[in-house]
Chain A
């Protein structure tokens, strides 16, 4: 079946612009996670949804980061007033139960 998909795959934004990153999880997966992966580093947890409820957003680095999953399926990660330090790959993962997470291909964000 279809895996986790993310769009766009690449995004270049000028500093100060807002961006929106989309994640389509595997159908039926109730849990959805967002991670930020800097070059050469492991994925850093940002936020977690169970269905439409955002149960943990402790990893969001600032109030410029906002995530939503209004209908419990597709999720959007929004970054307002982007800064250069926001440049990274943003990974989305979904799971049927909490355990085995399946990752999307990621969105590579470059802020210039």
Chain B
């Protein structure tokens, strides 16, 4: 089955800096890669996703890149703000199920 690994597990940046979170997956059949943001005690919220037919997608300060050959994808947050502080999860789906990474706790220091 699919195995998703996520790094780093914790990330601390200064406000205004960029943050990068990386994930790798094992199933070459995976074709959909969402990223979720989860604040303490709340439900995961989809922030951006990418499908296997594109290499990059951007939405304001958030971008995701996908390298299918290497089976890895990354989340990039620019101009970080304190409200970006949360746990971020990557996931990979092959249309049969979805597997999540273990999460990255991002702290943005003002």
A interface with B by C-beta (< 8 Å) = 33, 35, 40-45, 48, 55-56, 58-59, 91, 98-106
Contact = CB atoms under 8 A, between A and B. Distances in A.
A48 B101 CA distance: 18
A91 B46 CA distance: 14
Interface SS of B by simple majority: strand
Interface residues of B, number: 23
Interface stretch (B14-22, B61-69, B70-78, B91-99): B91-99
A42 B102 contact: yes
A42 B101 contact: yes
B102 A41 contact: yes
A98 B93 contact: yes
Contact of A99 (B45, B49, B100): B49
26 contacts: A33-B98, A40-B103, A41-B102, A41-B103, A42-B100, A42-B102, A42-B103, A43-B89, A44-B100, A45-B97, A45-B98, A45-B99, A45-B100, A55-B96, A59-B97, A98-B32, A98-B95, A99-B49, A99-B51, A100-B34, A100-B49, A102-B46, A103-B36, A103-B45, A105-B42, A105-B43
Contacts of A44: 100
Given A41-B102, A42-B102, A106-B43, A101 B34 contact: yes
Given A42-B89, A56-B97, A100 B42 contact: no
Interface of B: 1, 6, 32, 34, 36, 42-46, 49, 51, 89, 93, 95-103
B44 A43 contact: yes
Contacts of B100: 35, 42-45
A48 B43 contact: no
Contacts of B45: 103
Given A41-B103, A43-B89, A105-B43, A99 B32 contact: yes
